[in-house]
A and B are shown apart, each in its own frame.
With several copies, the nearest count.
Chain A
Amino acid sequence: MSHNHKEDIYTLTENRLIAKNTYRTVFEGYTGHITKPGQFVNIKVEGQFLRRPISVCDYNENNMVLIYKIIGQGTKAMSEAMPGTRFDILTGLGNGYTIRGNKPLLIGGGVGVPPIYCLAKALASDNIKASVIIGFNSVEEVFYYDEFKALGCNVIVTTADGSMGLKGFVTDAIDRFEYDYFYTCGPEPMLKAVYNKTVTEGQLSFEERMGCGFGACMGCSCETKYGSKRICLVGPVLEKNEVIW
């Protein structure tokens, strides 16, 4: 397969449990199609018909890091794959985050944290130190706190049960920061709460069940103030000012 193809074969080189039911996986292969934080890849998993969309958490020239939680059969099968296993993956999907603002606030919930890390890293390389709120149910689920710290971010962890950081939801931490723009990714109820709580413009990354992941099937359409948009193609990131709840 030539690198003109967004579809390519990747070799799993690491697959590690980093938090409760949460795995960090490294794939080796061509990453030239990944151009922006917030983009995702779509993975063919043995035994499943549809691919599984997972956000890019980190990448360099030859490797990409994904972090995922076991939800059903597909992510279960991924978690059981041994290093050396080869996967058919479509990369560089979606439009990702567009960088704006000088004092950004990044807010990630659960497995919405990985794309937020990718963004924080991109901001750091532009010398923008982001403020970050990452929220989980409980301390066993927390991951990447140290990694955000290492980027120089100002990080607050929230846990619903108070077992680490601030007790409560990510929205309970928003007022602790001064920010001129926000970026968020997480479960839909969280996105909505963030939307309501934030006082600036910002970008929200959505999840939707996908057929193709590259704009062909209209499976992931979403009504916005500017007409219907495909989450997989135009998103997964939408601007706050276009979202309709």
Chain B
Amino acid sequence: MADTTVKLCGLLLDNPIIPASGTFGFGDEFKNYYDINILGSFVFKGTTKEPRFGNPTPRIAETPSGMLNSVGLQNPGIDAVIERELPRLARTYKKKIIANISGFSVDEFVYCCEKIDKCDIVGAIEVNISCPNVHNGGMAFGVSAANAANVTKAVKAVTTKPVFIKLSPNVTDIVEIAKACEAEGADGISLINTLVGMRINPRTRKPILANTFGGLSGPAVFPIALRMVYQVAHAVNLPVMGMGGVSTAEDVIEMMMAGATAVQIGAANLVNPYVCKEIIEGLSAVMESYKIKALEELKI
């Protein structure tokens, strides 16, 4: 058995497989499907200061080898997450989790990070400055290096937990933004969030999504994600959590060769609820087939 452990900002993970925010809820549904303690860790659904219903439905559309979502950060709000979801989760899940914090202003990010900082079960915080579904025209907060830097600086001041900034791929220069986060003390970078896309129903002559635009994810975006992970991992001196279209153990290896220290699985969970389990169970054999002894030093 090849060694699948990885170190991520001081956290020792049994394996690099981490379900991505928004595709794993708070673990509830998956816990009925398999023992989620096998996961390296997992990132919970993007949480904001206030509860949010999210966008109107339809929120989902199909695309070639992918999907669009315009869920729009539906969540019960940070207080309910801390009071209700995390204690319930702690009864089944015995490892550290990663908190995903979203917001609409620097203050909101700070508010949520300060609160989540107090939760023992949280091993790291992922700050999502890149959700394309919550602003008009799909332009996210995190598309400017200055905004990214401001958020990073502000949240770093209120937490001692490792902070990953989750970046948007809908930008001209991802490296510039990652560097701005690094300069303000980010402990790591997560990427990619979804790409802004759209579908039209030719029968109704209306956009399929009630919100017109949505975020594209799934295998279709894998080559874009891989490129951005490669660029960022070679430009900053921080661990990168790579994601975007990963659906097999081979994809995980490819993503780690691009420079990811851990790998998140998003849309694939929705199509196959057992995908993370299958990847974890198959990882060692795939490593052996490529003569990989350990996952460190895979970066090319």
> Within the complex, are A and B direct neighbours (CB within 8 Å)?
yes
For A208, list chain B residues within 8 Å (CB). Answer: 57-58
For A212, list chain B residues within 8 Å (CB). Answer: 23, 269-271, 273
Alpha-carbon distance between A31 and B61 when the two chains are bound, in angstroms: 29
For A222, list chain B residues within 8 Å (CB). Answer: 57
Alpha-carbon distance between A222 and B270 when the two chains are bound, in angstroms: 19
CB pair A218–B67 under 8 Å, yes or no, is: no
Instruction: Check if A62 is an interface residue, CB within 8 A of chain B.
Output: no
CB pair A209–B218 under 8 Å, yes or no, is: no
CB pair B272–A7 under 8 Å, yes or no, is: yes
CB pair B270–A217 under 8 Å, yes or no, is: yes
Q: State how many angstroms separate the Cβ of A231 from the closest Cβ of chain B.
A: 9
For B67, list chain A residues within 8 Å (CB). Answer: 49-50, 211
Task: Considering the complex, give the chain B residue whose CB is closest to the CB of A51.
Answer: B271
Instruction: Check if A167 is an interface residue, CB within 8 A of chain B.
Output: no
CB pair A219–B59 under 8 Å, yes or no, is: yes
Q: How many interface residues does B have (CB within 8 Å)?
A: 35
Instruction: Check if A161 is an interface residue, CB within 8 A of chain B.
Output: no
Instruction: Check if A210 is an interface residue, CB within 8 A of chain B.
Output: yes
Contacts of B20-70 to chain A: CB distance below 8 A: 22-25, 28-30, 33, 45, 53-54, 57-67, 69
Alpha-carbon distance between A208 and B267 when the two chains are bound, in angstroms: 18
Alpha-carbon distance between A145 and B147 when the two chains are bound, in angstroms: 63
Alpha-carbon distance between A44 and B270 when the two chains are bound, in angstroms: 11
CB pair A7–B273 under 8 Å, yes or no, is: yes
CB pair B66–A49 under 8 Å, yes or no, is: yes
Instruction: Check if B274 is an interface residue, CB within 8 A of chain A.
Output: yes
Q: State how many angstroms separate the Cβ of B48 from the closest Cβ of chain A.
A: 13
Q: How many A-B residue pairs have CB under 8 A?
A: 92
CB pair A50–B69 under 8 Å, yes or no, is: no
CB pair A219–B71 under 8 Å, yes or no, is: yes
Alpha-carbon distance between A218 and B59 when the two chains are bound, in angstroms: 9
Task: Considering the complex, give the chain A residue whose CB is closest to the CB of B201.
Answer: A72
CB pair A221–B57 under 8 Å, yes or no, is: yes
Q: State how many angstroms separate the Cβ of A238 from the closest Cβ of chain B.
A: 14
Q: How many interface residues does A have (CB within 8 Å)?
A: 27
* Contact residue among B25, B33, B71, B74 (Cβ-Cβ distance under 8 Å from A5): B33
Instruction: Check if A48 is an interface residue, CB within 8 A of chain B.
Output: yes
Indicate whether A50 sits within 8 Å of B269 (C-beta atoms), given known contacts A5-B33, A7-B274, A211-B69. Answer: no
* Contact residue among A6, A44, A220 (Cβ-Cβ distance under 8 Å from B271): A44
Main SS of chain A's interface residues? loop
CB pair A214–B58 under 8 Å, yes or no, is: no
CB pair A49–B62 under 8 Å, yes or no, is: yes
Contacts of A185-217 to chain B: CB distance below 8 A: 208-212, 214-217
* Contact residue among B28, B33, B53, B274 (Cβ-Cβ distance under 8 Å from A223): B53
For A34, list chain B residues within 8 Å (CB). Answer: none
For A88, list chain B residues within 8 Å (CB). Answer: 272
Alpha-carbon distance between A5 and B218 when the two chains are bound, in angstroms: 23
Instruction: Check if A228 is an interface residue, CB within 8 A of chain B.
Output: yes
Alpha-carbon distance between A130 and B277 when the two chains are bound, in angstroms: 44
Alpha-carbon distance between A5 and B32 when the two chains are bound, in angstroms: 9
Q: Which of A51, A211, A223 has the most CB of B within 10 A?
A: A211
CB pair A216–B23 under 8 Å, yes or no, is: yes
Instruction: Check if A106 is an interface residue, CB within 8 A of chain B.
Output: no
Contacts of B234-260 to chain A: CB distance below 8 A: none
Q: State how many angstroms separate the Cβ of A87 from the closest Cβ of chain B.
A: 13
For A218, list chain B residues within 8 Å (CB). Answer: 22, 25, 45, 54, 59, 71, 74
Instruction: Check if A90 is an interface residue, CB within 8 A of chain B.
Output: yes
Instruction: Check if A233 is an interface residue, CB within 8 A of chain B.
Output: yes
CB pair A49–B69 under 8 Å, yes or no, is: no
Task: Considering the complex, give the chain B residue whose CB is closest to the CB of A7.
Answer: B274
Q: State how many angstroms separate the Cβ of B200 from the closest Cβ of chain A.
A: 13
Can you list the 5 inter-chain pairs with the closest CB atoms, starting with the nearest? A212-B270, A219-B60, A209-B58, A215-B29, A218-B74
Q: List 7 A-B contacts (CB under 8 A).
A: A7-B273, A44-B271, A209-B208, A211-B60, A212-B23, A212-B273, A228-B74
Query: Which of A's residues lie within 8 Å of B, judged by CB?
Result: 5-7, 44, 48-51, 88, 90, 208-212, 214-223, 228, 233
